[in-house]
Amino acid sequence: MTDQGTHTVLHVGGASPYDVVVGRALADRLPGILGEAVQRVAFLHAAELTELAEPVLRVLREHYDVLALGLPSGEATKAAEVANECWDALGEAGFTRSDAVVTFGGGATTDLGGFVAATWLRGVRVVHVPTTLLAMVDAAVGGKTGINTGAGKNLVGSFHEPAGVLVDLDTLLTLPREELVAGMGEVVKCGFIADPVILDLVEKDPDAATDPHGPVLPELVERAIRVKIDVVVADLKETGGSDGHPGREVLNYGHTMAHAIERAERYSMRHGEAVAIGCCYVAELARLAGHLDDATAARHATAFGAVGLPTTYSGAGFDDLLAAMRVDKKSRGNTLRFVVLDEVAKPVVLTGPSEEHLRAAYDVMAGGAA
């Protein structure tokens, strides 16, 4: 971590190193990241953020020919037809391998824009400018891109690391409260899997943890990004960790159930909300399987609930959710895999839990009591 005035630079090492810059008013840093060889930039942005995007667009237009492409809102943008429209636009504009993509928006925009960059001419430079807390700590870092299909979420995608990420905290000042709270789902998750200080900060003062004007939220953002960087650098393509650590798969803590819930809700539930519920579910599953003590399992509902996130769900039946979990990316054949905790910051993989435990954990999730 390197402090440069009001900016913090978090370096991502590995075969394709890049920096994540956390600060305010960062648009002027874009040309330095994109480089002099770039002539054209496709600016893929959430259509409803046109006004918020103006400072970034202004800087880009001073240096490049800019093709601005507005995208649908939310998960609707992560569709094959939207990607195809972007490819057609790049082709008509004559984009070459030396040109670049800049994304501006939440996690869905980042996922779709990264996928377009990864697949156009087998890969062009991309810089992410995430505008939601969720995208800042999750989608924008790590190089995962993807779109959804009728079979599930993120089943089509590619690894494509960005040339850089600009985390402009000023965008959180205009973020709707419910979106900011939803983003805390991934932040608190990082506390459980790797950084207990995150949990301490959240539990000590939940209001400060969700205040975009104060000093606590920026610290939480940096800590959560650092967790993801450390995991990704050690295991870029989710091939596995060492010494029993799940590797990059640890970032999917709570996500097997979360993705099943999102599918059941036809992606109308915010991702961070589903993650909070999924983490509470898998904590109970770990408790039933003898991995996690009662107090730490219960702490999940306390920590997520403290910032206003949901911790229970009964909108779909067990059998439907189980079927959805079986097509999750982390499954092996018909065998379910879950990242669970032995204790805070001690993750392991639980393979093939019994249906009895899966159902009992669902009953707690649906009813909210052990």
What is the residue-wise DSSP string for 195-234?
-HHHHHHHHH-HHHHT-TTSSHHHHHHHHHHHHHHHHHHH
Contacts of 22 (CB under 8 A, 6+ apart): 7, 8, 9, 10, 167, 169, 218, 221, 222, 225
What is residue 9's three-state secondary structure? Answer: strand
Note the pTM of the prediction, 2 decimals: 0.93
Is 122 one of the annotated active-site residues of the chain? yes
Look at residues 146, 190, 142 and name the one whose alpha carbon lies nearest to residue 14: 142
Residues contacting residue 63 through CB under 8 Å, at least 6 positions apart: 31, 34
174 is in an annotated binding site: yes
**Residue 330 is labelled as binding a ligand:** no
CA 136 to chain centre: 7
Can you read off the two tokens belonging to residue 301?
């509902």
73 annotated to bind ligand: yes
SS3 content of the chain, % helix, strand, coil (to 5): 50, 20, 30
Spot the catalytic one: 189, 259, 263, 287: 259
> 144 among the known binding-site residues?
yes
pLDDT of residue 330: 60
The response to whether 83 counts as a known ligand-binding position is: no
**Residue-range domain boundaries for the chain:** 2-174, 177-367
Exposed, middle or buried by CB within 10 Å (0-12, 13-18, 19+), for 241? middle
Catalytic residue, chosen from 29, 228, 291, 299, is 228
Say which DSSP state 27 is in: G
Question: Which CATH fold topology does 2-174 show?
Answer: Rossmann fold (3.40.50)
Reply yes or no on whether 186 is catalytic. yes
The residue from 128, 255, 287, 300 that is catalytic is: 255
pLDDT score at 369: 53
**Which regions of the chain are under pLDDT 50?**
1-5, 370
Return the number of other C-beta atoms located less than 10 Å from residue 361's C-beta: 26
189 labelled binding-site residue: no
Sequence-distant (6+) residues with CB within 8 A of 150 are none
2-174 and 177-367: identical CATH topology: no
Q: What are phi and psi of 101, to 5 degrees?
A: -120, 140
Q: Is the separation of the CB atoms in 292 and 285 below 8 Å?
A: no
Residue 259 falls in the annotated catalytic set: yes
**Active-site annotation holder among 29, 40, 248, 263:** 248
* Rounded CA separation 227/219 (Å): 12
* Ligand-binding site membership of 119 (annotated): no
Residue of 125, 271, 291, 299 marked active site: 271
The answer to whether residue 248 is catalytic is yes
Asked if residue 77 belongs to a known ligand binding site, the reply is yes
Q: What is the pLDDT of residue 242?
A: 65
> What is the distance between the alpha carbons of residues 187 and 210, in angstroms, rounded to a whole number?
11
Q: Choose, from 125, 154, 223, 252, the residue flagged as catalytic.
A: 252
Cα atoms in the 13 Å half-sphere on the side-chain side of 99: 21
Give exposure, 248-283, as e/b (b: 16+ Cβ within 10 Å). bbbbbbbbbbbbbbbbbeebebbbbbbbbbbbbbbb
The reply to whether 144 belongs to the active site is yes
Give the CATH fold of the 177-367 domain: Dehydroquinate synthase-like, alpha domain (1.20.1090)
Q: Is residue 171 a known part of a binding site?
A: yes
Q: How far apart are CA 242 and CA 287, in angstroms?
A: 24
Is 346 one of the annotated active-site residues of the chain?
no
List the catalytic residue out of 40, 144, 223, 291.
Answer: 144
Of the candidates 122, 213, 266, 332, the residue annotated as catalytic is 122
Can 255 be counted among the known catalytic residues?
yes
